[in-house]
Amino acid sequence: MQILFCLCSLVVLTLVQWSFAATADQWRGRSIYQILTDRFALLEGADLNACAPGDRSYCGGSWNSIREKLDYIQNAGFTAIWISPVNQNYDGPPTPYGMPYHGYWIADVTKLNARFGTAEDLHALVDALHQRGMYIMVDIVVNNVMSTSKTPDYSSYLFKDASYYHPYCPIQWGNVSSEQNCWLGDDIVHLPDIDTSNPEVIDAYRAWVADFVQEYDLDGLRIDAAKHVDVSFWPQFCNSAGVFCMGEVFGDENVDPVAAYQGPDALASVLNFPMYTALQSAFFIPGDNNVSALVDVLEQSQAKFVDTTILGNFIENHDVPRWRSKSVDPQSMYNAMTWTFMTDGIPIVYAGQEQYFSGAEDPYNREPLWPSGYKNTVAYTLVSELNAARNFLVSNKSGIDWASAPTKVMTTSPHGIAFEKGPVITILTTIGSPGRNGTNIAVQTGYTPETLFFDVTSGGFGDGRCRQWVTGSAGHLDVQYTRGGRPVVLVRADVLERGDLCKDEVGWAIIHYEQSDGVSRRSKKWSLVGTVICAYLSSLYLL
């Protein structure tokens, strides 16, 4: 009887562990909304005017206030959130850099940050997300703790003796050993570097992360400063966590040093900093309009990363300047953002991006969201449309494995780029908002003439969603920019008819007819008026 009880307990434990283990395959089709807990929302009755980013102080956001604003996130189509670290932080007198409202100045990683709520509050947030079918990714800091001294009292940390830390040394950037063993921070705020090669540290971290993920039923981890830890640490750590791990490997357009951190002997995923850098080169206005940078990074990435379809795509986060602080044209953001949704990888939108926030360096890129009024801006609408398209494409209804399909560049020009991913053709431009007569991007698709597509977004113009596009006599598409540089996302009609996206428009355009040989086939037919409209839109791009 006792043996039977033990076997049953083992089965139950296995099922419990399986239930919270979200894998890379499950994350591949998700889209993520990134939140700094302190800056996303306030509870009812709080002072909405009491948060100046330059003060670097706590503003009052909490896990409960996130939970109360989940409609705003889900209505935009996001299927996951990433929240800032939940663990205990430094809580002494204000430093010259303010207080750790951001959550990255770790004290004891095994305890929660009471500034953001209780264990019950965190459980309630996770439960609310799971009831909506959404995932939660929690940011964690493993590389270091925080101190106001080079000789800290280690007794307040998880690792309570100096022998568990590397001796103090300033980082020599570009030297991998120094970046992994020396201390981040500076002479004002020190970040003592934990020796993650120490077997006792490894065992303690593995035990902690297993308990942490299971206790709060987490779906994924975003790992801060992952490149400052020896890569061999990560497989055993993430195996113990049992969930998808996405690491921050800060870098530029160089693919190799970032790609080294993805794989079976490293992390499942990393943030795609090389593509982030290339997107700036291509789409910033004013800027280089260097579309070839996108192609180069994409080709290198597909050759050197283990799996580009689970990389974290972004154009903003809390560590880099807001897009709008560097690029004056909203259409530049719309096109860059569309790339992050429609190419290989998991799209990530940083809270405030959809509200046109323009803070530059830290702390001004960490603005509170509530002054925006959570408006349904054009950018918010575009994000919603991109999510709707992506969520359909990765769903069972679409009948395809779109998320795993590789991105293929179809054409580039001085004005933009067209690429294909499964039955979707996306055409992006670098020209910005002003209309340009005679400016076009011509795409040779490889499809037969009169293949029917629908543009599944309004491209940031607020109108024109679900417009028909038809390939020409040679299978080509021609996008002209008489009203400016909106992105175009074309999904093949026979795929769309399987779901509700553009349902009414697709329904009248596709009919069955019986061919003379008696075989029932699907054909693209429309009225004379529809033909004229499609031809007019495809040739003049009147929006």
Q: Is residue 537 part of a domain?
A: no
Per-residue pLDDT for 199 more than 70? yes
Same domain, 502 and 420: yes
253 torsion bin: left (phi>0), alpha (psi -120 to 50), beta (else): alpha
Q: 8-12, 40-44, 114-118, 445-449: which has the minimum mean pLDDT?
A: 8-12
pLDDT band at 462 (very low <50, low <70, confident <90, very high): confident
In the structure, what pLDDT confidence band is assigned to residue 508 with cuts at 50, 70 and 90?
Answer: low
CATH of the domain at 253: 3.20.20.80
Please, what sign has the CA dihedral across residues 347, 22, 125, 86?
negative
pLDDT band with cut points at 50, 70 and 90 for residue 437: confident
| 8 A C-beta contact, residue 158 and residue 115 | no
Residue 246's H or E segment, with its range, is strand 244-247
State CA 459 to chain mean position distance: 19
pLDDT average, residue stretch 421-437: 94
Asked which of 62-66, 100-104, 302-306, 439-443 is least confident by mean pLDDT, the reply is 439-443
- Asked if the structure places residue 1 within a domain, the reply is no
Over residues 352-359, the mean pLDDT reads: 98
Same domain, 504 and 449: yes
Q: Which residues are annotated as a binding site?
A: 105, 222, 319, 366
Same domain, 55 and 73: yes
Query: Which pLDDT does position 521 carry in this prediction?
Result: 37
Residue 212 lies inside a defined structural domain of this protein: yes
139 belongs to the catalytic site: no
Q: Could you please report the per-residue DSSP string of 471-531?
A: --TTSEEEEEESS----EEEEEHHHHTTSSTTHHHHHHHEEEEE-TTS-EEEEE---HHHH
343 assigned to some structural domain: yes
**Residues spanned by the domain of 238:** 24-398
Distance, CA of 287 to CA of 279 (rounded, Å): 11
Domain-embedded: residue 522: no
User: What is the token pair recorded at 539?
Assistant: 């040739």
d(CA 343, CA 364): 30
Confidence grade of residue 393 (pLDDT, cut at 50, 70, 90): very high
Record the tokens describing residue 249, joined without a space: 């490997």
The answer, yes or no, to whether residue 6 has pLDDT greater than 50, is: no
Same-domain pairing of 151 and 292: yes
Same-domain status, 81 and 223:
yes
Structure tokens, 187 = 């002479």
To the nearest 10 degrees (0 to 180), the angle between helices 273-283 and 330-342 is 140
Domain co-membership, 424 together with 279:
no
Q: Are strands 452-455 and 416-421 parallel, antiparallel or unpaired?
A: unpaired
Q: Name the catalytic one among 121, 224, 329, 420.
A: 224
Residue 523 lies in a domain: no
> Does residue 5 belong to any structural domain of this protein?
no
The pLDDT of residue 88:
98
Tokens describing residue 52: 């100046």
Q: What is the token pair recorded at 445?
A: 């698709």
User: What is the biggest distance separating any 2 CA atoms in the chain, rounded to whole angstroms?
Assistant: 87
pLDDT mean over 331-353: 98
Statement to judge: residues 309 and 423 lie in one domain: no
Percent with pLDDT over 90 in the chain:
82
151 CB-near residues (< 8 Å, 6+ apart): none
Shared domain for 90 and 233, answered yes or no, is yes
The pTM (predicted TM-score) of the whole model is 0.91
Q: Domain check: are 64 and 112 in the same one?
A: yes
Residue 503: the pLDDT is 87
pLDDT of residue 1: 34
CA 142 to chain centre: 21
Query: 121, 110 in Cβ contact below 8 A?
Result: no
Same domain, 422 and 341: no
From 377, 398, 419, the end of a domain falls on 398
Co-location of 85 and 232 in the same domain: yes
Of the candidates 534, 397, 135, 478, which has an alpha carbon nearest to the alpha carbon of residue 388? 397
Mean pLDDT, residues 21-27: 91
Degrees, nearest 5: CA angle 211-215-220:
80
**In angstroms, rounded to a whole number, what is the distance separating the alpha carbons of residues 493 and 453?**
5
Whether 29 and 394 have beta carbons less than 8 Å apart is answered as: yes
Last residue of a domain, one of 398, 430, 452: 398
Torsion of CA 154, 160, 164, 169, to 10 degrees: 0
The model's pLDDT over 214-254, given as tens digits with 9 standing for 90+, comes to 999 999 999 999 999 999 999 999 999 999 999 999 999 99
Annotated catalytic residue within 193, 248, 455, 505? 248
Residue 250 carries which DSSP code?
-
The pLDDT confidence band at residue 272, using thresholds 50, 70 and 90, is very high
For 43-67, how does the pLDDT look when each residue is reduced to its tens digit (9 = 90+)?
Answer: 988 888 889 999 999 999 999 999 9
Q: Is the pLDDT of residue 69 over 90?
A: yes
End-to-end CA distance of the chain: 73
Domain end marker among 376, 398, 420 = 398
Q: Which two tokens stand for residue 107?
A: 């004290």
Domain with residue 430: its CATH number is: 2.60.40.1180
Q: What are 396-417's pLDDT values in tens digits? A: 999 999 999 999 999 999 899 9
Nearest-5° Cα angle at 201, 197 to 206: 105
pLDDT over 80 at 263, yes or no: yes
Into how many domains does the chain fold?
2
Model confidence band, residue 21 (pLDDT cutoffs 50, 70, 90): low
Q: 3-17, 35-49, 241-255: which has the minimum mean pLDDT?
A: 3-17
Q: Is 248 a known active-site residue?
A: yes
Average pLDDT, the chain: 90
Same domain for 205 and 162: yes
Binding-site annotation, residues for substrate: 105, 222, 319, 366
Q: Is residue 531 part of a domain?
A: no
The pLDDT-based confidence of 528 (bands split at 50, 70, 90) is: very low
* 213 contacts: CB under 8 Å, gap ≥ 6: 20, 221, 241, 242, 243
467-470 and 452-455 beta bridge pairing: antiparallel
